[in-house]
Chains A and B, each alone.
Chain A
Amino acid sequence: MLPNVRREDWYQTATNTNWDLSYVDEEEAFPPEMTGQDAYDIPEGGWEAWEETYKQTAREYYETQHEKDGSVYSVSSAMEQSGLPHSLGMGWEDVLKFHFASVPLLERAAVTSESQYARFAPDSAWRHMAQFGAMDELRHTELQLRIPHSFVKEDAQYDWSKKLYHTEDWASVAARHLFDDFKASNAIDSALQVTFAFETGFTNMQFLALASDAADVGDIEFAEAISSIQTDEARHAQQGNAIIEILDEYDDLDRAQYLVDKSFWRCYKLFSALTGPSMDYYTPVEDREMSWGEFMEEWIVDQFLENIESTGLEKPWYWEQFIELVREGGTSHYMAGGHYHWRPTLPIAPPGVTEEDREWLEEKYPGWEDRWGEKWDRHAEAMRNDNLEKTVADDLIVLCDLCQLPAIHADPDRENNRLHSHEHDGETYYFCSEPCQWIFENEPERYAEHKSILRRFLAGDIQPQTLEGALEHMGMGEENVHERGIDFRAPEWGDDWADWNPPSAEPTSAASDD
C-alpha cells in the first residue's frame, strides 16, 4: 500500500501542467487576442507563479457542491406547497422577477468567460481553477432557471427568466452591453473585470445583501439559493487577486487599473438600475432594513475599497463623484422612477410609492422628498383624476451610448448629472456621466457601432416608429401584452395621497389633523 498524501503534497503537481508546445506554434495555441499576453508586460514564465488561496480539488468540489445543491433543492421542494413567493405580495415578487430576469443567463455568460480562462489563461494552475469557476456558473444558471420555472404557471412575467436576453428589451440591451464587453475580451482583461471588479465587488450586493432582504421577507427558498451561490462566487473570484499580484510584481498595473476603473463604473450603473429599485422600492417597506445606499456603503465603498487598496491598485479616479451618487442614491431613485414611468417595457409590476415608502425613503436619503417627491405626487394626482395613462410614458428618452441606461438624471444643474456628449467620426454620442464618456473615448472603435434602442428608433430600424413599434421590438408586443409591467397598486394608491404632505414640508392644517 502506498503512503497516504495530503492535498498540499500533490496539488501543485496536479495543477502545474504547463508544457512547451513543439508541434504547433505557441502563438497559434495561445493567440494573443484570446489570452491577452501581448497586452501585458510579464516576462516569459512569469505567469507560472499564478497562485490562488482556495486550492480546491475535484474530490472536494464534487462533495461540497453536491451538499450545497442538496440543501438548496431540499428547501426548494419543501416550499413547493407553501404558495411562495406569490403569498409574499407583488412587491417582493417584483424583486424576484427582476432578479430572475436579469441574472441566470448572465451566469451562463460567465460560464463562457470562465471557460475562456480554462482554455486560454497563460498558466495551467489558473486554467485548472477557472474550470471550477465555469462549473460554478453553470450551477448558478441552472439553479436560477429551475426555481422560477415553477412560477410561470402562476405569473407570466417569470417567463422572462429565460427570455429577457433573447429579446431586445432595453434592460437586455443594457446588461448585454456590459457582459458582452467582458465576454469580447482576452482572458486576462476579462478575468480582471469579471472576477475582480464584478465578482469581488458587486455579486455581494446581488447575492448577500438581497439574501438578507429575502430572509426578512420570509422567502426562505430565495435566501437559501442566492446565499449558497455567493459561497461559490467568493471562491472563484479569487482569480482576480492572483492576476493582480503577478502584474504588481512586474510593476505592470496600468492596464489593470484602467479595466477595473471601467468595469467598476459599468457595474455600478447596471446594479443601480437593477438592485437599487429592488431594495429601495419593491421589497415591502416593513421588511427593508438597509437601503441600497447603505448596502453600497458597506459592501462596495468600504469592502471593495479595502480590497482595491490591498492590491497595488488605486481607487478609481471618479471615486469622489461615485461616493456622492451613492450617498444620495440618485441613480437608483431615477431608475426606479423610470421603471415606473416606462413600466410596460419591463416584466415586473412596479408599484407607486406609499406613504410608508416615502417616510422610509426620506429617512434613508435625506432630501429625497425635495428631489423626487414631486414626481410621485404628479403620478398620484393623475391616478386620482382617472388619468392612469398619464402615469405611463408615451415617448422614448435619451439613452447613454455606453451603459445604455437613461442619459439624464433629471437634474441638469448638477455637473455629475448633466448630459454629456462627444463627437466621433462626425457623429454625436451621448452619455449619462463623465465616466461613461471617458470609457467610450478610450475605445470608440469598440463601442461606436452599437446602437441604443433610441438610435435604432431614430434610424428607422424599429417599425412602425411608434411606442407600440418600440414595444414590439423589445419583445413586449401585442402577443406579450399581458407580460407588460403594470402598477399593481393602481389606481387605488393615488387616493392615499389626497391629503398627503411630505414629511420635510411644513405641516398644514389638513395633514396635521388626524
Chain B
Amino acid sequence: MSEKDYPMKQETYRTYSTWNQRRVPTTYDIAAHRTNYDIGERYDGTVPRLAVSSDEALPQWYQKYREGSAITGEYPDDFDSWRDPRELTYEKYNELMDKRESTIETLYEQAEVLERGTERSDDPWLDFQERAFLPLRYPCHGLQMIASYLTMFAPSSTISTAMTFQATDEIRRQERLARRATQLHKEFPEKGFTENEREIWEEDEMWQPLRKVLEELLVEYDWGKSFVGTNLVLKPLLDELFLAHYSELFDKNDSNLYAQVLDNFYLDADRSQEVAASVADHVIEIDESNEAVVQETVDEYYPASEEAVEAFRPAFESMPPETMAFDDVLADIRRKYDAMLADLPVSRPA
C-alpha cells in the first residue's frame, strides 16, 4: 500500500497554535499558558464562558470578581501574557520542595546525631513559642485559603498556577508548625501545646490585628484587590516578620535548628514576593489605570497589616529570654518592603 498524504501530517505545527507570543515557548509555557477555558466571553458574548445559566451564583461571582475586577485588561491576552519569572512547572515545584523538605529532615537528623543543644527549653522560651509562634498555623491556613481562592479566580492560568504553589507552601508550614507543637507537647505535656493555640489565635491581643486583617482579606473577593492586599501587602510583611526576623530570634535563643527551618520556608516566601511584584508590574503595564487601583489597595491594606506586625513587639522585646529591639525589626521590614516595591510605580503609604 502506498504512503498517503494525510493533510494533518502534511501541514503541521511547531508548537500549540494557542501560543501567540513571539518567543519560542518553554516547557512552562506549554504547561501553564491558556489552560483555563472559562476565562473571557461565551460565544454569545456572555461573561464568563460557562455553560450554565448566567444567573447562577457561580457565573455571577466570576462576572463580578474576575472579569469585573477593579484591575482591568483585555481578556484573555492581557493576563495570559503574564508569566512566572521562575517558570515554575508542577514538576519543578515538586522537585524543589522535595529538596527543601529533605533538607529539613537532614537538619533534624544532624541535630540528633550531634546532640547539640539545638533546643532551648526554659519556661520563657517555651511560653514564647506557645503564645507567639505556634498559633501561626492558623493564619497559614487563612493564607492558604486566599491563595486557593486566587487559584480559582485569577484572570489567567499562569497567575492561577503560581497561586496553587503558594497555597501548598502555606500547607507545608502549617504541617511543620503542627509537628513542632506536637513534639513540644510530648516533651512538656503540662504546657498545653497543641491544645491552646486556637484560643490564643482567637483571643490573645497580640494576634488580633493580624486575625482582623486576614479575615478582611478572606472576604476581599475582587481577585485583583485580593491579590494585591495579600501578596503585595500582608504576606510579604508577615513573611519578613515570622520567617526572617523570627529566624534571628530563634538563633539568638539557642534554637538554631528551627531558625534554619524558618530560613528554609523563606525560600518560598522569596518566590511569592517576586511573583507579587511581577504581577503588579504586569497589570500596570497592560493598563495604566491599574496603577491607581494597585496603589489604593496597598493604601487600604497596608496600615492594618503594619498594625498586625507591630502587635508582635512583645514577642521581640519582652517575651523571649534573649530579646531584640523591635524598632530595628520594624525598620528592616519596611526596608525590605520598600525594596520589593522599588521597581513599581507604587509606594508604601506614609
Contact = CB atoms under 8 A, between A and B. Distances in A.
A457 to B, nearest CB: 12
A59 B172 contact: yes
A142 interface: yes
A381 B54 CA distance: 48
B94 A119 contact: no
Contacts of A483: 7-8
Interface in B129-170: 137-138, 140-141, 144-146, 148-149, 151-152, 157, 160-161, 164, 167-168
Interface in B192-215: 194, 198, 201-202, 211-212, 215
Interface residues of A, number: 98
A269 interface: no
A247 interface: no
Contact of B16 (A9, A159, A450, A488): A159
Given A153-B14, A162-B18, A183-B50, A446 B151 contact: no
B6 A349 contact: yes
Interface stretch (B111-119, B243-251, B274-282, B283-291): B111-119
Given A153-B13, A446-B53, A131 B167 contact: yes
A58 B172 contact: yes
A111 interface: yes
Given A146-B31, A153-B12, A180-B38, A58 B175 contact: yes
A334 to B, nearest CB: 23
A132 B151 CA distance: 13
Contacts of A152: 12-16
A456 B144 CA distance: 42
A286 interface: no
Contacts of B141: 17, 124, 127-128
Contacts of A112: 36, 38, 151-152
Given A69-B91, A184-B56, A173 B51 contact: yes
Interface string A412-456: 000000000000000000000000000000000111111100001
Interface in A155-208: 155-157, 159, 161-163, 165-166, 168, 173, 176-177, 180-181, 183-186
Given A23-B211, A159-B17, A115 B149 contact: yes
B98 interface: yes
B179 interface: yes
A212 interface: no
Given A62-B98, A159-B17, A483-B8, A17 B216 contact: no
B101 A184 contact: no
A29 interface: yes
B219 interface: yes
B181 A13 contact: yes
Nearest to B36: A108
A59 B13 CA distance: 40
A448 B152 contact: no
B30 A59 contact: no
B152 A24 contact: no
With most chain B CB atoms within 10 A of its CB, the pick from A2, A128, A139, A446 is A2
Interface residues of B, number: 94
A145 B35 contact: yes
Contacts of A131: 144, 148, 167-168, 171
A437 to B, nearest CB: 17
Interface stretch (B57-65, B232-240, B330-338, B342-350): B57-65
B190 interface: no
B122 interface: no
A58 B58 contact: no
A157 B6 CA distance: 11
A353 interface: no
B218 interface: yes
B43 to A, nearest CB: 5
Contacts of B90: 69, 135, 138-139, 142
Given A111-B164, A115-B148, A181-B52, A10 B94 contact: no
B95 A66 contact: yes
Nearest to B202: A19
Interface in A66-122: 66, 69, 73, 90, 104-105, 108-109, 111-112, 115-116, 118-119
A509 interface: no
With most chain A CB atoms within 10 A of its CB, the pick from B94, B144, B160 is B94
A309 interface: no
Contacts of B51: 173, 176-177, 180-181, 450
A478 interface: no
Contacts of A62: 94, 97-98, 101, 172
Contact of B94 (A2, A21, A65, A145): A65
A63 B278 CA distance: 29
Contacts of A90: 6
A62 B172 CA distance: 10
Task: Provide the main secondary structure of the chain A interface.
Answer: helix
B22 interface: no
B44 interface: yes
A149 B13 CA distance: 10
A154 B35 CA distance: 22
A127 B55 CA distance: 27
Interface in A475-490: 481-484, 486, 488
Contacts of A22: 202, 211, 215
Nearest to A451: B44
Nearest to B184: A2
Nearest to A106: B37
A411 interface: no
A119 B36 contact: no
A498 interface: no
Given A13-B181, A488-B4, A149 B30 contact: yes
A458 interface: no
A492 B1 contact: yes
B34 interface: yes
A142 B91 contact: yes
Contact of B179 (A1, A10, A127, A138): A10
A279 interface: no
A239 interface: no
Interface in B34-81: 34-38, 43-44, 50-59, 61
Contact of B186 (A9, A29, A488): A9
A66 B98 contact: yes
A290 B160 CA distance: 40
A381 B211 CA distance: 75
Nearest to A161: B16
Given A3-B186, A131-B148, A17 B138 contact: yes
A57 B175 contact: yes
A492 B149 CA distance: 55
Given A33-B58, A184-B59, A482 B8 contact: yes
Interface string A50-63: 00000001110011
16 contacts: A21-B215, A57-B175, A58-B97, A62-B101, A90-B6, A108-B36, A112-B36, A115-B164, A115-B167, A130-B148, A149-B30, A155-B12, A445-B55, A446-B52, A461-B44, A482-B7
Given A24-B215, A116-B148, A132-B168, 10 more contacts: A21-B218, A23-B212, A33-B58, A119-B148, A146-B27, A156-B12, A163-B18, A184-B57, A484-B7, A492-B1
* Closest 3 pairs between A and B when the two form their complex, measured CB to CB: A14-B178, A33-B57, A118-B148
Interface of A: 1-5, 9-11, 13-15, 17, 19-24, 28-29, 33-34, 57-59, 62-63, 65-66, 69, 73, 90, 104-105, 108-109, 111-112, 115-116, 118-119, 124, 127-128, 130-132, 134-135, 138-139, 141-142, 145-146, 149, 152-157, 159, 161-163, 165-166, 168, 173, 176-177, 180-181, 183-186, 347, 349, 445-451, 456, 461, 473, 481-484, 486, 488, 492
